[in-house]
Structure 1
């Protein structure tokens, strides 16, 4: 495994936070597992992550899901992007599918990504130009050539507004799933466990780590027009070239309606 110093720190921070989250998951007070309780856990996990980062890199900027721009420094060349718990509702319902996500942006380019699933002890890592790994083993994305037999994941709500969009995909693919953790969705695309991903309106901390994992596994991430503006719009499609092309061919009209 390629180990840049900041990647080492990101791994350490993700494991510390993940262990805390797993401890509360395994020994909860059933009367306390609610949004307020989980928010406290997320803040504790976030504090641990920040503590590790600040110990080694006190002058770096940190952008967090919970507190926004937590530490802003004059030198913004390095930014740490944190999601202490991706999959909050899963945690509340004791559905074991959630993760910690940490990414590092250096001079406006995402260079490091760590997504840690503390329940399965699965550590997804990527460094720009060095590939994506799971627990030290190299990953490659799906090799599917079309939508037939594929599994796609999304965060789109299954409601009447998205009926045509969902229906068109379900007709062609084997299954369309909502797992509840954007970070793990993208990690699973990188691992080839699912063939594609689409979601809209995501925040920077939701996808920054995952999109590097996808790109370093040989797949692509685009916005709903096939371009790179997902960084600003939060509208993402991820998968290999053929899958993304098939999604556009199937539902171009519906995707355009989403961005209008």
Structure 2
């Protein structure tokens, strides 16, 4: 039996699917896209902008009172929001521009809590070029299309595969050094480390058990909120290096056997480069 999706998730799926149709057309004609540079090794294309516009239009039509936070357009709506969409219209833009199919749409839905904080109650990561729709709702599990997801059960590091995001030009020097320390420790101990170019998909693939763990320093909310929920609902851990559930930039995720030690390695590495 196919899992039942809430009204919120139905809206998210419809918005992502509509944006995906244009993204696929652009992907097949990528050489014609106009591209701008936001910063060192950080690009935005017409495809990103059109995708975000489509997603926002669909979400606002369905839930006009909700706030939004998008990678390209920033924040919209009341600062005192009760519900907020968090959107990455094209995670993996560099892959997209090089005709590599590892890119995705990421949409998360946050709910304001009585204490003033927020929690992610629904998350979607859609990879149109791969025809894979990852989605999760708080307390209801994580899915790939209609198949229930579980994180990997591997405990042995020598058989474990890790994913990460390699720092690039705009990354803080401290994070670059911490990354190098962790990578140096992992390389001789594991089955390998992959850098696929999309934080949202790395988290989705961790939820699906394709990776045992994933870490990255200096992410943004729109990169990871949906994926973090996917990992948690698939039975894994997803925190910052200090172990806090509220992931604000640095994220480490994985199965319950691997993630704690990887988190300890990150803490040690980051403390070792304080100066």
TM-score (norm 1): 0.91
**Cα distance change of structure 1 residues 251 and 8 upon mapping to structure 2, 3 Å threshold:** closer
Matched, 1:139 2:149: yes
Kindly state the Cα deviation for residue 39 of structure 1 after the two structures are TM-superposed: 2.1
Kindly state the Cα deviation for residue 157 of structure 1 after the two structures are TM-superposed: 2.6
Q: Distance in 2 between matches of 1:195 and 1:46?
A: 31
Kindly state the Cα deviation for residue 124 of structure 1 after the two structures are TM-superposed: 0.5
State the match for 2:10 in structure 1: 8
Matched, 1:104 2:109: yes
Q: Distance in 2 between matches of 1:121 and 1:187?
A: 13
Number of aligned pairs? 256
Q: Distance in 2 between matches of 1:184 and 1:68?
A: 22
TM-score (norm 2): 0.87
Q: Distance in 2 between matches of 1:258 and 1:163?
A: 11
Kindly state the Cα deviation for residue 255 of structure 1 after the two structures are TM-superposed: 3.5
The one of 40, 50, 60 equivalent to 1:44 is 50
Deviation track 1:95-126 (CA, whole Å, cap 9, x = no partner) reads 11000000101121100111100001110010
Matched, 1:117 2:134: no
Deviation track 1:27-80 (CA, whole Å, cap 9, x = no partner) reads 33x2546447952211111111011111111110011000110x2136511000
Q: Distance in 2 between matches of 1:258 and 1:112?
A: 36
Conserved in 2, the CA contact under 8 Å of 1:87 and 1:98? yes
* Structure 1 gap ranges (5+): none
Matched, 1:165 2:170: no
Q: Distance in 1 between matches of 2:152 and 2:34?
A: 36
State the match for 1:224 in structure 2: 241
Give runs of aligned pairs for residues 31-70 of structure 1, distance below 5 A: 32=33, 34-35=35-36, 39-69=45-75
Q: Distance in 1 between matches of 2:274 and 2:252?
A: 13
The one of 213, 235, 253 equivalent to 1:238 is 253
State the match for 2:90 in structure 1: 85
Which of the pair is proportionally richer in helix? 1
